Chains A and B, each alone.
Chain A
């Protein structure tokens, strides 16, 4: 044959979408929250974030090359960098470098590469890393630096987080404790300086920056609205009912704006690999996460329940995929 025509099956065109485009899209969406965390926690935030990202990239590269012995390297597909940033977002800014590196090793090594790398992990790697650190280093992982200490790292002054106050209110049965919470506006824009309960981990300090990221990801069609909106709506409704029943429980707006809720709902629960495939499944997943989060926050031993709720629902994702099928053509009711 003199011609060299390529013969392949249809479709012969592609949308141009790629793993990189989606992963870098998420990284872009993380930029506002990243900038705010640098601004609020200063030096410590920069050290923790850089360590976490560099360690995640290193472990991804080293494990692919020396343990899995694969030719292609997934270093630059963006997924390890996202894990690094999300892990850092879940840590206090005064965490020593060596603990951050252990977290990154657990996140990438155990959370992701043990299962075969990108696309194969059942649980969100960044959350595996965070929960591992939380259980192994409970003291370091629960002393939160106060916002607004520019040059501080290991010596940063720590304070109470809004969620700790909310827990205290429930334990003491005294709703007036909640008056010490920063105002909702401050929680939204993320500069709770000079407040009693203005501490927190890197990424959860400014709800507005996280919402900007959500808007960007929805606009670029990187994620669909189903998971974040169902989580936020469930938390709002469920905590609202509790608040109405007994004012010792914090108001729904305070629940929405504090802790890792926005971070989890927007960036952690929406992780492609570990969330359900159909829209119906995504709604079930989101509602369950929202419900579990409020339950853990109000009745559990830990002040924050987001990480546990997401990890629990990650485990249910295969089950959700089995039972929540997309609406098939031909099953729509006649109008």
Chain B
């Protein structure tokens, strides 16, 4: 069975909510929409205080090519345009909407009928994706239309659908594959058409045999779509690792993109959003969010309107356990620890993970014993111990030379370190500095 070739670790899966069907979550009383829910320029607001909006109304316009519009997930009145602390911990501009009723924009098709045929041209599909505000829903939030507009001279040969979900605890993509397989397959066909390719691979780790079986069975009816079961290994859901695992090619060092080896990678959640946007005229305003944790009463998967505060999801899953020590937006390997549960669900929020006091604390770092485990698990073939030490000493030339910018911050090194050293903390410091140095050098030229 296939997997990526360099490094990798095996964190405990803890997929507590895997058997729990997706449930729609009740509407929030107030929805908050940060204007930067994607990589790129923040969106610019189209509404002002007191405006009435419906579900699916465009409330902010893309702020550039690498950007995405934002749609209201609720109907009601704009309360204010202010700021909110989002998952990054920084205060960002945001639109607040008070919820009244649940009135949808009339052109959204709310039926559940499967619409298979799509007569649009590739350009029209890409433009619909762009106009529906779709971004990568695995967590990176890269605007999808940008990935589908390759730079001159590059041509895609296949699309890879990421159903790996290698983060422990998270089950949103797994449930989606089980419950919406037809929609996903039609979405893949649309994506293949938009990318002008005739091969698609759905990559799923073999700890989800039910999803592999279901999609393999259904994919027989579609030409060019193949399900690829993969060995369980973290970080297989990383774009570069997935490309290596599925088509045995490695993307050269930055600034090269996956498209340079002919691959376009999209998350299954994104593919489902593409289906809904293109076939049902439904922009991106809701997503599936896993709420989970060992002390939580009922770990669940909720179909959640964007802008809903995380506290509401936690309540719906049985309430915040007494012993909660840490709330994480996303999975335990790459998710962000949150300072409050009032933070709204955004386009990239795949999960809310509650960790108890005991799990939340880091052990005291010990001296590095040079065991080389960080080197052997690094999926980018870097030397984390060296990058961390040189970053801590401020040797920016050296870390740049040692390719610190290739680090994908997957956390495998720190996960595996027997001395509990804060390896990735230091590497992030170095990446930030080196990134700034490189940008300054480029502007000088």
Contacts and interface: CB of A to CB of B under 8 A. Distances in A.
A13 B337 CA distance: 12
B333 A329 contact: no
A120 interface: yes
Interface string A108-125: 000000000111100000
B206 interface: no
B335 interface: yes
B369 A13 contact: no
A19 B368 CA distance: 9
Contacts of A5: 324-327, 337-340
Nearest to B415: A11
A7 B337 contact: yes
Interface stretch (B105-113, B296-304, B354-362): B354-362
> Size class of A's contact patch?
35 or more
B168 interface: yes
A173 interface: no
B250 A330 contact: yes
A18 B424 contact: no
Contact of A19 (B324, B366, B376, B380): B366
A22 B251 CA distance: 35
A9 interface: yes
Interface of A is mostly: loop
Contact of A10 (B251, B333, B382, B418): B333
Contacts of A22: 369, 371, 418
Interface string A250-280: 0000000000000000000000111111110
Nearest to B335: A10
Interface stretch (B3-11, B144-152, B434-442): B3-11
A12 B373 contact: no
Contacts of B380: 328-329
A19 B419 contact: yes
Interface string B295-324: 000000000000000000000000000001
Interface string B5-33: 11001011000000000000000000000
B315 to A, nearest CB: 15
A119 B419 CA distance: 10
A325 B370 CA distance: 15
> Size class of B's contact patch?
35 or more
B430 interface: no
A293 B328 CA distance: 54
Given A10-B333, A331-B381, A272 B371 contact: yes
Most buried by B among A77, A79, A275, A328: A328
B424 A9 contact: yes
B75 interface: no
Contact of A273 (B340, B369, B376): B369
Interface string A321-335: 100011111111011
A142 interface: no
B186 to A, nearest CB: 32
B420 to A, nearest CB: 7
B363 A278 contact: no
A10 B424 contact: yes
Contact of B417 (A8, A12, A17, A21): A17
A135 interface: no
Contacts of B425: 9
Interface string A93-129: 0000000000000000000000001111000000000
A6 interface: yes
Contacts of A117: 367
A172 interface: no
Nearest to B5: A332
Given A5-B327, A332-B250, A325 B383 contact: yes
A224 interface: yes
Contacts of A327: 6, 381
B336 A328 contact: no
Contacts of B328: 10, 12
A277 B339 CA distance: 37
Contacts of A276: 372
B406 A278 contact: no
A112 to B, nearest CB: 12
Contacts of B224: none
Nearest to A117: B367
A194 interface: no
Interface in A47-79: 77, 79
Contacts of B369: 19, 22, 79, 118-119, 272-273
A18 B424 CA distance: 17
A77 B367 CA distance: 11
Nearest to A222: B371
B414 interface: yes
B69 interface: no
Contacts of A7: 89, 326, 337-339
Nearest to B366: A19
A122 to B, nearest CB: 11
Contacts of B414: 11, 14
Most buried by B among A12, A275, A327: A12
B371 A12 contact: no
Interface in A280-335: 282, 321, 325-332, 334-335
A234 to B, nearest CB: 20
A119 to B, nearest CB: 4
Interface string B373-386: 10110111111011
30 contacts: A6-B325, A8-B362, A10-B336, A10-B337, A10-B411, A11-B414, A11-B415, A12-B359, A12-B360, A13-B333, A14-B362, A17-B416, A18-B419, A19-B366, A22-B371, A119-B419, A272-B369, A272-B372, A273-B370, A274-B370, A276-B372, A278-B383, A282-B372, A321-B386, A326-B382, A328-B381, A328-B406, A329-B250, A330-B253, A331-B250
